[in-house]
Amino acid sequence: MLTEERLNKILDLLNKQGRVKSKHLAEILSVSEVTIRNDLNILEKKGLLSRVHGGAVSMKGGYYYPHQTNYYPYLRKDYHNRPRIFDPHFQEQIALDKEEKKEIAKKAVSVVEKNDVIFVDSGSSTLFFVEELIKNPPFNLTIVTNSLYVINEVVQYNNVNLLVLGGLFQRSSLNFLDFEISPLIEKYCVNKIFLGANGMDESGLYSINIMEAKIKKEICNLSAQLFVLISSSKIFRKSLKLICNWKGNETIIVSEKAELYKDRLSALEKNQNIKII
């Protein structure tokens, strides 16, 4: 089998499965794992996949350029695709609870109204929310964000106003962090905030990142309506850092799977004066 043919086989498998193991590829393509690792390195340099321990994950829809279609003819039909940036670890996160996050996204979209100026946090749940929102956005909607994922999604649509907050670029989550984010958000008269979290319990909300926790705390202290999008796998789960205690003005948006915690959530809603939908 020629190298070009083998590379196309690897890409075909990646596009179908999302992830491949070097050992499995070596077996089905009848070559050594050393050869497979070299192949994966070639494809990674061309921006067509990302190496992970023991194999690779897909970057389908990611960066590729016209000259690459000379090597991989089957990509020609996708030449019109816009280049986008992908973090494979984030893509794996999106794959978790995917249908549940879509359900949460639809609920969240229902609270957005015409002329709203909303801040959208980084995270997989908020990205699903934005993808759903821009299908049929309310009149004169403005989205303020510090997330490169959200920027890449919204920038494709002319009927949504987009304001971008800068700061230190966080490569692990592809967002911009600024410890003085509150004045920036208030400057644009944001009236609704859509926030993601890595966990929640009777004490409050949690983040897996200390720096992000500090910035999210600043955001939670603002006077705008606060909506927290959280999947069932994070309900009554702690993470690395407490963002803040409940303030009594939060609306928590959950899916039907949250019924598993119905009694506990009802108690939380009553004791902390928050709203759960």
The predicted model gives 20-46 an average pLDDT of 89
Show the 3-state SS of 187-206: HCCCCEEEEECCEECCCEEE
Q: What is the pLDDT of residue 63?
A: 34
- Among 61, 72, 60, which residue's Cα sits nearest to residue 15? 60
Please tell me whether residues 31 and 146 are part of one structural domain.
no
Token representation of residue 252: 């928590």
Q: Report how far apart, in Å, the C-alpha atoms of 113 and of each of 69, 118, 140 are.
A: 44, 10, 9
Q: What are the two backbone dihedrals, phi and then psi, of residue 169, each rounded to the nearest 5 degrees?
A: -80, 125
Q: What is the pLDDT of residue 271?
A: 95
CATH of the domain at 164: 3.40.50.1360
Q: Note the pLDDT tens digit of each residue in 76-123.
A: 344 344 444 455 445 545 557 888 999 999 999 999 999 999 999 988
| Number of domains, the chain | 2
Q: What is the pLDDT of residue 59?
A: 67
Which of 86, 113, 131 is the last residue in one of the domains?
Answer: 86
Q: Is 0.75 surpassed by the pTM of this model? A: no
Which of 86, 107, 129 is the last residue in one of the domains?
Answer: 86
Please tell me whether residues 81 and 101 are part of one structural domain.
no
Please tell me whether residues 241 and 107 are part of one structural domain.
yes
Segments forming the whole domain that contains residue 151: 92-276
Q: What is the pLDDT of residue 252?
A: 98
Q: Note the pLDDT tens digit of each residue in 202-255.
A: 999 999 989 889 999 989 988 899 999 999 999 999 999 999 999 999 999 999
Q: Note the pLDDT tens digit of each residue in 132-159.
A: 999 999 999 999 999 988 998 898 888 9
Q: What is the pLDDT of residue 94?
A: 55
Please tell me whether residues 133 and 66 are part of one structural domain.
no
Please tell me whether residues 102 and 208 are part of one structural domain.
yes
Q: What are the two backbone dihedrals, phi and then psi, of residue 67, each rounded to the nearest 5 degrees?
A: -65, -20
Q: Residue 71 pLDDT more than 60? A: no
Which of 86, 118, 136 is the last residue in one of the domains?
Answer: 86
Q: What are the two backbone dihedrals, phi and then psi, of residue 115, each rounded to the nearest 5 degrees?
A: 70, 5
User: Cα separation of 233 and 257, whole Å?
Assistant: 9
Q: Note the pLDDT tens digit of each residue in 240-275.
A: 999 999 999 999 999 999 999 999 999 999 999 999
The predicted model gives 35-46 an average pLDDT of 88
CATH of the domain at 73: 1.10.10.10
Helix ranges (H only) for the chain are: 3-17, 22-29, 33-45, 88-95, 98-109, 124-133, 148-154, 181-187, 210-220, 262-272
Q: Residue 125 pLDDT more than 60? A: yes
Q: What is the pLDDT of residue 57?
A: 83
Residue type, 201: D
DSSP 103: H
Q: Residue 65 pLDDT more than 60? A: no
User: Cα separation of 181 and 179, whole Å?
Assistant: 6
User: Cα separation of 175 and 272, whole Å?
Assistant: 31
Q: Report how far apart, in Å, the C-alpha atoms of 262 and of each of 52, 103, 197, 258 are.
A: 39, 18, 20, 7
Please tell me whether residues 76 and 108 are part of one structural domain.
no
Most confident of 59-73, 175-189, 253-267: 253-267
Q: What is the pLDDT of residue 67?
A: 40
The predicted model gives 18-43 an average pLDDT of 90
Please tell me whether residues 129 and 244 are part of one structural domain.
yes
Contact yes or no for 41/3 (Cβ under 8 A)? no
Please tell me whether residues 77 and 111 are part of one structural domain.
no
Q: What is the pLDDT of residue 110?
A: 97
Please tell me whether residues 73 and 134 are part of one structural domain.
no
User: Cα separation of 11 and 179, whole Å?
Assistant: 41
Q: What are the two backbone dihedrals, phi and then psi, of residue 253, each rounded to the nearest 5 degrees?
A: -105, 120
Token representation of residue 177: 């962090």
Please tell me whether residues 97 and 80 are part of one structural domain.
no
